Amino acid sequence: MKHTICMVSDFFYPNMGGVESHIYQLSQCLIARGHKVIVITHAYGERSGVRYLTEGLKVFYLPVAPFYNQAALPTVLSLLPLLRFIFIREKVNVVHGHSAFSTLAHEAMFHACAMGIKTVFTDHSLFGFADASSIITNRVLKISLSTVNHAICVSHTSKENTVLRASYPPGLVSVIPNAVDSYQFTPDPGRKTKGKVTVVVVSRLVYRKGTDILAALIPEICAKFDNVDFLIGGDGPKRLLLEEIREKHGLQERVRMLGALPHTEVRDVLVQGDIFLNTSLTEAFCIAIVEGACCGLQVVSTCVGGIPEVLPPDLIYLAEPSLSAVQVQLEQAISDRRSGNVYDEFEVHERIKALYTWQDVARRTEHVYNSVSLEDKQDLSERMHRYVKIGPVAGPAFLFLVAIQYFMFMFYSWWIPEQTIDIAEDFKVSSKDNGAKMDLTVTDCNSDKSKVS
């Protein structure tokens, strides 16, 4: 079955991150499998309108400014006319939303359901149940997923978390892990510093990533091992803490801070190290440890969330999320490195290459699209019945919004009938030069994903 898929998220290029990379890589592989894929996101600065990426991936940067943490203001109904126009013009039959934090994804799935378009949602993160932010996010997720046809999680731990948070049927949730571009993340033994053991950290420097543990760990390891240096890539509010620790203990020569890194430069940093360290306090999957292992590094990580599911036990040193536990495992990794009791880098690369491929992720996601396409369409009464079960307060409130949506949809169907909307032509790539030249200007994202057109 061939589909026209609309990926929707507030998080996409030129913003950099795991969700952005996931959407791009999955879209490229789905296009290679013969599907048509478009992406909808909000405007990034002056980047607004329609842009084209590699292989004709069409991106709609809607004229909506981000409100908080790169997410658009949750308006629920304001984007109905624009989204309806895009869905009809592009003949979309599957809307795929990404990230529970993306208000744009929730709104797009809400309107797609009203138009009879099948919806799929991918949850990329883990959330708690106690703090105010989690409570609000979980309630929104429960409302949004009540009419979604299928959900995807990146690990079994993430699946359990999503099912509990959203009260979603477990049978409608598939586990499809992230993947790594093994052709980009390759070992390079010549880049390492001889006589030194370099510990690499590539992460956002925030509390959730365990930066406090890292800050306390660095002086302990540096005091115990004279030949161990740290290479830290990433930025965030906790960067100041690391710089203070470096200054306090006089470790300027042994702890290098690289700041924020474009994804295309991550591999060049990883291959300079021997050990990859992850101190996260919560993770649904953690693609960073896969990239580190793919470059042949020993991986030391906290044992939280879905991390134990990611790598084989012999390729990772797992520790509880505490300073003492992480220090023990890191010291063991350093000792194994110094004694030569480690796997060959290229052997590890081949193992990771066989485990995680975007082609496999695309194939499994395609199976989800095929299954939801065979389901019966939800009528208005079924949607209303599902919303009623949300709760005694949220249910009636959302029914009121559904009623407004219904009348807005009827009005725009009368004002701009579907038959008057021109259907967009499919993007064609020249087969003579393998896509090097296209019938529209396209920036090659394979060479530098941080510089898309």
- State percent of the chain over pLDDT 90: 60
> Which residues on adjacent β-strands are paired with residue 6?
38, 95
Domains of the chain, earliest start first: 4-179+359-420 (3.40.50.2000), 189-355 (3.40.50.2000)
The pLDDT of residue 337 is above 50: yes
At 380-404, the pLDDT tens digits run 777 777 777 777 877 788 788 888 9
Residue 195: predicted pLDDT? 86
Task: Please name the residue that has the structure tokens 């009879």.
Answer: 116
Q: State the Cα angle at 52 between 92 and 75, rounded to 5°.
A: 55
Q: What is the DSSP track for 119-163? A: EEEEE-----SSSHHHHHHHHHHHHHHTT-SEEEESSHHHHHHHH
Contact 166, 142 (CB under 8 A): yes
pLDDT band at 429 (very low <50, low <70, confident <90, very high): low
Contact 34, 366 (CB under 8 A): no
Query: Whose CA is closest to 103, among 132, 125, 76?
Result: 76
At 226-271, the pLDDT tens digits run 999 999 998 889 999 999 999 999 999 999 999 988 878 899 999 9
- State percent of the chain over pLDDT 70: 94
Q: What is the DSSP track for 296-335? A: T-EEEEE--TTGGGTS-GGGEEEE-SSHHHHHHHHHHHHH
The pLDDT of residue 18 is above 50: yes
The pLDDT of residue 199 is above 80: yes
214 Cβ neighbours under 8 A, 6+ residues apart: 201, 232, 242, 277, 279
> Torsion angle of alpha carbons 210, 215, 219, 220, nearest 10°?
-30
The pLDDT of residue 453 is above 60: no
Task: Report the run of H or E that residue 241 belongs to, with start and end.
Answer: helix 239-248
pLDDT band at 181 (very low <50, low <70, confident <90, very high): confident
The pLDDT of residue 225 is above 90: yes
The pLDDT of residue 34 is above 50: yes
Q: In terms of residues, how long is the chain?
A: 453
At 270-297, the pLDDT tens digits run 999 999 999 999 888 888 999 999 999 9
Q: Alpha carbon of 173 to those of 306, 374, 449: distances in Å?
A: 16, 16, 30
